[in-house]
Each structure stands twice: as C-alpha cells, then as structure tokens.
C-alpha cells in the first residue's frame, strides 16, 4: 500500500519520500531545510487527488488513514536513522499537517455522505 525510499530531491539533497503504491510522486517527504533541521513537505495536490478518487466509505477511509499513519511513524524512525542521523526532524505525527491531511482525506467522504 505504501513505500518509503531515500531519494535525491529537486534541490539535489538527500530526502526520504513516502509513496502510495500506484502513484509516481511522493505523498510526503523529509528534506534538509536549514542547518541540521529536516523539514516535512506534503504534496497537498496529491492528497486532494486521492481524496476525490477514493470510493471508500468513511469507515474504510479511517482504516486506510490509520494504516498510513502507522507506516509514516515507522518510516520517520527509519529516515531519522538512515538518512538524517543526528539531525532535528519535523515529524508528521507531531505536526499540524497530520490534522490537515486527515481532514482533507476524511472530509471528502463526509461531504459525499459515504458510509
């Protein structure tokens, strides 16, 4: 369902991206921003695309989101160890983006009353 890869960003820096299996661009990625800080970048357009294309019910979306969050938490640990050792990371699980992604993904199901 999800994959995590170390990659080279468009800024020619080491990054760690999390992909949905069927899509070619990362849904989110971690990349050095300033000094020894690693920032989190979210592809909001991709979140919106997935939200609109999904035919899953609200309950199924909640399950998918929880699976995604579990994968992200494990991936954050791997990225911190493998790609960004000793650097300060911005974690999705600690960020405002988590609420935003959840709202975008689950909100689409609520707006079309899919149960």
Q: Model confidence over 46-87: pLDDT tens digits?
A: 999 998 888 899 999 999 999 999 999 999 999 999 999 889
Q: Cα 57 vs. chain centroid, distance in angstroms? A: 21
pTM listed for this prediction: 0.82
Q: 40 or 94: whose pLDDT is higher?
A: 40
Torsion angles phi and psi, residue 38, rounded to 5: -110, 120
Largest CA distance in the chain: 46
Which residue, among 95, 90, 99, 112, has the nearest Cα to 65 in the 3D structure? Answer: 99
The pLDDT assigned to 12 comes to 87
């Amino acid at each position: 369902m999800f994959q995590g890869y170390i990659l080279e960003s468009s800024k020619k820096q080491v990054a760690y991206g999390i992909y949905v299996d069927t899509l070619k661009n990362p849904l989110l990625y971690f990349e050095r921003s300033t000094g020894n800080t690693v920032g989190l970048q979210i592809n909001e357009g991709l979140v919106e695309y997935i939200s609109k294309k999904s035919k899953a019910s609200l309950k199924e979306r909640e399950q998918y989101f929880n699976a995604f969050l579990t994968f992200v938490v494990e991936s954050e640990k791997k990225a911190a160890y493998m790609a960004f050792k000793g650097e300060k990371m911005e974690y999705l699980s600690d960020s405002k983006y988590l609420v935003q992604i959840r709202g975008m993904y689950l909100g689409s199901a609520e707006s079309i009353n899919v149960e």
